[in-house]
Amino acid sequence: MHIWVYKHLLEHEVEIKELAWTSMWAIVAAMIAIKMSPDDIIKYFKNINYLKLVDLNLIFWILSGKKVRKELKKVFKDKRIEDLDIPLTIVATNIETWESEYFKSWKIVDALRASLSLPSIFTPHKINENHFIDWWITSNLPIEAIKSKHKIIAVSALRKTSPLNTHFTFWRFKFVRNFFEINYQILHRTLLLLLENNEKASIEDNPKAIIIKPDFTDILDYYSFLKLDEFVELGYEETKKVKI
């Protein structure tokens, strides 16, 4: 559930019966489940100093995620998923079994930390004897986690792929971009292709779901945290076009 959809539903007095999400957007779903308002959610994300959440694991040279968990605990404290008024499912991938894990009960902060564990960025999060990573590895649109017979609204924030940018111009001279820049673009497009295929599979299995897909291509980047207002406005305008 994205902030702009939440805002639209509240304005039209549409009751939210159930929530499910994965990765960083699972934080928003959990905030909705504890009845935070759209304005409070936006204010929270705008006030975070993201650099202070960086805590490098010197063994693996990726983020340990301890500071992220500590930050999440400021919001959710020791609340548990099963105690929420709105049923919530937080989804992650269990790397012991390579199967999806649907957290319908557990501490919210630990389920979120598990779902946020983007490979090569965060260390996997350990719960009991299992380690978990971000769910986009298996699917990034968890429609199947919703068991309600009511309308299902699913939001895709994937950007469209664009041609490789292999050259740049400086003082009217054209230069070839370096090996690392070009390979980063290839890796990024490979990831987008994986996510697009995952989404298509989820949508095909749930043809009655209402899909909202704002187009952020060439306007914003996934990590433009300081442009949250633009994200929300674009998504909100797209949501208004959908009959809910």
What whole-number percentage of the chain has pLDDT above 70? 91
**pLDDT higher for 113 or 229?**
113
Residue with the larger pLDDT of the pair 210 and 127: 127
pLDDT for the residue numbered 242: 80
Place of tokens 């998504």: 235
pLDDT grade for 127, boundaries at 50, 70 and 90 = very high
Residue 226 is predicted with a pLDDT of: 66
Q: What is the dihedral of CA 214, 166, 192, 58, to 10 degrees?
A: -120
Least confident of 64-68, 130-134, 239-243: 239-243
Q: Is the CB of residue 142 less than 8 Å from the CB of residue 21?
A: yes
- Which has more confidence, 129 or 164? 129
pTM: 0.82
- Beta strands at 210-212 and 153-155: parallel, antiparallel or unpaired: parallel
Q: Over the stretch 74-115, which tens digit does the pLDDT of each residue have?
A: 999 999 999 999 999 999 999 999 888 999 999 999 999 999
Residue 71: the pLDDT is 96
In this predicted structure, what is the pLDDT of residue 207?
A: 80
Q: What is the DSSP string of the chain?
A: --HHHHHHHHHTTPPP--EEEETTHHHHHHHHHTT--HHHHHHHHHH--GGGG--EETTTTEE--HHHHHHHHHHHTT-BGGG-SS-EEEEEEETTTTEEEEESSSBHHHHHHHHT--TTTBPPEEETTEEEEEGGGT-S--GGG---SS--EEE--PPPP-----EEEETTEEEEPPHHHHHHHHHHHHHHHHHHHHHHHHHHH-TTSEEE----TTT--TT-GGGHHHHHHHHHHHHHTS--
Mean pLDDT of 119-133: 91
Q: pLDDT tens digit string along 36-57?
A: 999 999 999 989 988 899 898 8
